[in-house]
Amino acid sequence: MRRGLRLLVGCLLVGLCARGASLPVDDVWKLLKGTAQPSAGWNTADFDDSKWLEEEAPCGYGYPSIATVLADMRWNYSSVYFRLPFDLEDTYGIARLSLTIDWDDGFVAYLNGQYLAHRNMPISFDPPYVVLASPPHLAGRPEVFVLDAFTPALRAGMNVLAVQVHNASKSDETFFFNAKLDIAMRVEPFPCVTMPTCADKGDGNVLIGWARSAGTVLDAIQVREGDEILVQVPGSAQTALVTHAAAGEHVYRLFGVRAGFDEACYGGSCEVVVSDVKNFKRGDANVDNRFSIADPVFLARYLFQQGDAPSCLDAADADDNGKLDLADIIGLLQFLFNNGSAPPAPGPYECGGDAVLDDFPLCVYPFCP
């Protein structure tokens, strides 16, 4: 992670940040000299810039205090392409976004491939490398662009600020580029929980945990997905369980609620890939798609004679208490031969998922969709 983003990530994790964070002006940029048109998508976050140069800004020639002098630019090429990749833990808490840029002679700026701003360019989006800036513009008067409307373009993970800078002519005696992206975080009303974690527990269950800073006082903690409150637990809790989550990628956010405050504090987010519900038939301990005396016999051999382990422990857990023991064998025998109670759903004759969270691994049961 680039050092210019550590403050930003710290603000997100601590949950109480009154100042902004910025990408430093002297950070390392990826640079491509405009001797030919760059490949399509050069201004997007997923573009492979491994073959581009790495240089510090300010870049140019003909000005004092330039970190990277482009001594070969004059007479040879009139444009330079810049990329600054940066990583974000989360984007929810971003309140303000602005770009400060100083240039000679014209530029077009992008955020994750989305147009941000341009100056002194005849074409406002992805002009060819041979286009010349007009009119000429001397550096030394940085301009600030307020980009709050572009915060949705940011994403958790890798982002990129990309800028193409053009001279007014190949014979121009000067060229200059320098820029920074300021990211101001929202101010939290009171200290919140921190460091949320998500764990897929199977069968549509996601266990969410967090840390608490000393002195944190909350009346309740909410787990939200989008604008929907999925779970609310007491403010002293350290975990929460989301149930019936659909398979696929999810982003869960934590918020703290405190009496006397209209706004909740924000404790950060975590991402998780929820696995498909693993359906099975409870009682089919030997996983042969039949319920018979063979099932308690198989379970007895596993528990007491070092027999093979069930491929679906949930199917062998006849009383659904999260452990395999003699009670499961007795329960199966009672149901088979003494009019005992049927194993809890699902089963033993219908497929379904486990409704009770346990620590068993995900089932391997090939007979249920």
Same domain membership, residue 115 and residue 38: yes
Q: Which of 142, 165, 185 is a domain's end point?
A: 185
Residues 222, 85 within the same domain: no
Domain containing residue 173: 3-185
The verdict on 26 and 132 lying in the same domain is yes
Ordered per-residue pLDDT tens for the chain, 369 residues: 333 333 333 333 323 333 345 565 557 899 999 999 999 999 999 999 999 999 999 999 999 999 999 999 999 999 999 999 998 888 888 889 999 999 999 999 999 999 999 999 998 899 999 999 999 999 999 999 999 999 999 998 899 999 999 999 999 999 999 999 999 888 899 999 999 999 998 888 999 999 988 889 999 999 999 999 999 999 999 999 999 899 999 999 999 999 999 999 999 999 999 998 889 999 999 999 999 999 999 999 999 999 999 999 999 999 999 999 999 999 999 999 999 999 999 989 999 988 888 888 888 899 998
CATH number at 343 reads 1.10.1330.10
Please, are residues 346 and 280 in contact by the beta-carbon 8 Å criterion? yes
Q: Are residues 252 and 172 in the same domain?
A: no
Task: Note whether 13 and 149 are same-domain residues.
Answer: yes
**Pair (247, 282) in one structural domain:** no
Query: pTM to 2 decimals?
Result: 0.70
Q: What is the chain's length? A: 369
Say if CB 179 and CB 25 are below 8 A apart: yes
Beta bridge partners of 352: 280
Token code pair at residue 209: 């945990």
Q: Clarify whether residues 145 and 29 are in a common domain.
A: yes
- Fill in the DSSP letter of residue 124: S
User: Residues 180, 212: one domain?
Assistant: no
Specify the CATH number for the domain of residue 79: 2.60.120.260
Assess whether 129 and 209 both reside in one domain. Answer: no
Among 247, 274, 301, give the residue marking a domain's end: 274
Stated as kind and residue range, the H or E segment containing 296 is helix 294-304
Looking at residue 248, which CATH number applies to its domain? Answer: 2.60.40.10
User: How many domains, in total, are found in the chain?
Assistant: 3
* C-alpha neighbours within 13 Å on the C-beta side of residue 139: 27
CB–CB of 341/283 below 8 Å? no
Q: How far is CA 26 from CA 53, 259, 271, 278, in A?
A: 15, 45, 32, 52
Backbone phi and psi for residue 116, each to the nearest 5 degrees, phi listed first: -110, -55
Output phi, psi for 6, to 5 deg: -65, -40
Question: Strands, E, within 11-135: which ranges?
Answer: 20-22, 28-33, 53-56, 59-61, 68-69, 79-88, 94-104, 106-111, 114-119
